[in-house]
Amino acid sequence: MIKYIDMMKLNFQQFRIPTGITKSTFKTGDARESVANMLYLNVNGIRAHALALKIYHSEGETEFSAEEVQTLREVANAYATPAFIDGLNSQLEGGAE
């Protein structure tokens, strides 16, 4: 039996976040190292290590499994700024422009 896993594409190299609470302006930058470090320094286990390296070495849009996305959401909610969380949610919901 083949098990299909939903994959989502995220781009941490061109990561867009709001510059204020009104979300009327945004900045785009390379968040790969910051996100990789957030995982590397705060999450236990080999899967977190592999995900951190995957993000750090990613180029543009990269596919992530549902499990990887769940880990990213949990880590962002615990350790990231609200602006980063909104940027991540925007990409996950297909709202990145």
Per-residue pLDDT of the chain (97 residues; tens, 9 = 90+): 455 457 899 999 999 999 999 999 999 999 999 999 999 999 999 999 999 999 999 999 999 999 999 999 999 999 999 999 999 999 999 854 4
- Structural domain boundaries enclosing 65: 32-81
3-class secondary structure per residue, the chain:
CCCCCCEEEECCCCEEEECCCCCCCEEEECCHHHHHHHHHHHCCCHHHHHHHHHHHCCCCCEEEEHHHHHHHHHHHHHHCCHHHHHHHHHHHCCCCC
d(CA 10, CA 15): 9
8 domain-assigned: no
41 domain-assigned: yes
43 domain-assigned: yes
Domain count, the chain: 1
10 domain-assigned: no
25 domain-assigned: no
12 domain-assigned: no
